[in-house]
Amino acid sequence: MFTGIIASIGKIQEVSPRGDGFRLIVDAGKLDLSDVLLGDSIAIQGACMTVVEFDVDKNTFCFDVSAESIQKTHGLAKPGFVNLEKALRFNDRLGGHLVSGHVDGIGYVHQFDVVAVPGQAPSDGNSWHLSIDAPGFLGKYLAYKGSIVINGTSLTVNQVEDLTINAQAITRVHINLIPHTLENTTLQYLKSGDPVNVEVDLIARYLERMLSVHPLNTPSS
């Protein structure tokens, strides 16, 4: 489990074929590897991966990823900057929300620009508006002031729109980002049209399952 609070911007240094999948070598950036053990979980761009090798001196770690995982996520198939977070400990603060590290779908950036404030220049620390077109089947899990994970980052939804574009159902979510979030995550590199990893709220998924079970399947007291 994770919180969606990014600990470091790392960088995939190398992607090499390994069996029917790939091995990635990742520069951990500011992520502290001193307490990392083989088999530990680290979220990279929102996808939970298992550490199979690490080098504290070189500040790198490795993980193996299947071809299917590469196809179902974005940002793991080539070198580049990535969001990193170590797994949640039970005594940690839950600054974001409960995140599983399982990507539910690929969304696309619809719009990303600074929020205009009368009398202020864009460089004055204004917030930014980010809108993401998520797959329509995820719409039922997204709600006003609910939580969403974009590339591993826990964010709050400010508006939800269910739309049909080119005969495809999408759910457009609108999010405000403060400068601190941009400076400390890879969200700062996004531009219109970019794909992103989306994970919906864990509790919403369980709630859907609970409500979908027929009453006759519930044991009587």
CATH number for position 69: 2.40.30.20
Give residue for tokens 């990392």.
36
Task: Tell me if the pTM is above 0.75.
Answer: yes
Question: Which contiguous run of DSSP H or E holds residue 169?
Answer: strand 168-177
| Residue after which a domain boundary falls, among 56, 86, 116 | 86
Structure tokens at 94: 């839950």
Same domain, 168 and 196: yes
In a domain, residue 145? The reply is yes
What pLDDT sits at residue 206?
A: 87
Same domain, 119 and 180: yes
| Residue after which a domain boundary falls, among 86, 115, 134 | 86
Q: Using only C-alpha atoms, what is the Rg of the chain?
A: 19
- The mean of the pLDDT values for the chain is 91
Structure tokens at 138: 């995820």
In a domain, residue 1? The reply is no
Exposed (0-12), middle (13-18) or buried (19+): which is 103, by Cβ within 10 Å?
Answer: buried
What pLDDT sits at residue 218?
A: 59
8 A C-beta contact, residue 86 and residue 36: yes
Measured CA to CA, the distance from residue 91 to residue 182 in angstroms comes to 27
Structurally, the chain folds into a number of domains equal to 2
| Residue after which a domain boundary falls, among 86, 120, 136 | 86
Residue range 150-174, pLDDT digits in tens = 999 999 999 999 999 999 999 999 9
In a domain, residue 39? The reply is yes
Same domain, 151 and 66: no
In a domain, residue 91? The reply is no
Measured CA to CA, the distance from residue 9 to residue 82 in angstroms comes to 6
Instruction: Show the domain range for 34.
Output: 8-86
Measured CA to CA, the distance from residue 18 to residue 51 in angstroms comes to 15
In a domain, residue 214? The reply is no
Residue range 75-130, pLDDT digits in tens = 999 999 999 999 998 877 778 888 999 999 999 999 999 886 666 655 556 789 99
